[in-house]
């Protein structure tokens, strides 16, 4: 019986900065229109894609290609967002689902897999670290009333 060679995957792996930017642009096109997390990018972060895409492409280029073109702090940008909207586990899960789907649609290979593994690590770390920062649910006092307790004054 003759063996059949598998059909090669038409998707290539992530090889260049252009590939990273293509991935980032495709992801944000989905994320910004998403009914679950789109409002975070559009209404809360008011994300300027023209400014953000080169920066986040550098982040992924550094992670996936080892070029060291990114020197920012991606976590720091998420703290003020969390203070406004409380980034919850479900938000991160949706972000990951959109990211994984975009990666799988466009690319296949070791770097594509690394893009998913690293995104999972980032999402888990960010969610865990954000728990130490204030969020809207921390303010449970009605109408901004702040209740404090003071020790009695000694005569």
pTM of the model: 0.82
Distance separating the N- and C-terminal Cα atoms of the chain = 101
Q: What is the pLDDT of residue 136?
A: 86
Token pair of 38 as six digits = 């789109």
Residue 47 has a pLDDT of 94
How far lies 21's CA from each of 27, 46, 68, in Å? 10, 20, 15
What local confidence, expressed as pLDDT, does residue 142 receive?
A: 47
- What pLDDT, on a 0 to 100 scale, did the predictor assign at position 111? 98
| CA separation for the pair 39, 31 (Å, rounded) | 9
Return the structure tokens found at 147.
């209740």
Question: Around 133, how many Cα atoms within 13 Å sit in the side-chain half-sphere?
Answer: 19
Fold of 17-144: Globin-like (1.10.490)
- Give the residues of the chain that fall short of pLDDT 70: 1-8, 139-155
61 in Cβ contact with 17 (< 8 Å): yes
Residue 58: HSE in the Cβ half-sphere, 13 Å Cα cutoff: 11
| DSSP per-residue string spanning the chain | ----PPPPPSS----SHHHHHHHHHHHHHHHHH-TTTHHIIIIIS---HHHHHHHHHHHHHHHHH------S-HHHHHHHHHHHH---HHHHHHHHHHHHHHHHHH--SHHHHHHHHHHHHHHHHHHHHHTTS--GGG--SGGG------PPPP-
- Please give the torsion angle defined by the CA atoms of residues 101, 104, 105 and 106, in that order, rounded to the nearest 10 degrees: 130
């Amino acid at each position: 019986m003759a063996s059949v060679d598998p059909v090669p995957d038409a998707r290539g792996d992530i090889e260049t900065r252009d590939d990273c930017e293509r991935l980032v642009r495709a992801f944000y096109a989905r994320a910004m229109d998403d009914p679950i997390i789109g409002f975070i990018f559009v209404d809360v972060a008011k994300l300027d894609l023209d400014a953000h895409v080169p920066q986040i492409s550098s982040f992924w280029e550094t992670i996936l290609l080892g070029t060291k073109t990114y020197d920012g702090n991606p976590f720091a940008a998420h703290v003020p967002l969390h203070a406004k909207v409380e980034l919850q586990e479900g938000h991160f899960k949706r972000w990951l689902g959109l990211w994984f789907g975009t990666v799988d649609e466009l690319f296949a290979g070791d770097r594509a897999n690394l893009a998913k593994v690293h995104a999972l690590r980032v999402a888990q770390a960010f969610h865990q670290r954000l728990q130490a920062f204030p969020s809207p649910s921390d303010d449970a006092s009605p109408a901004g009333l702040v209740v404090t307790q003071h020790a009695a004054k000694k005569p």
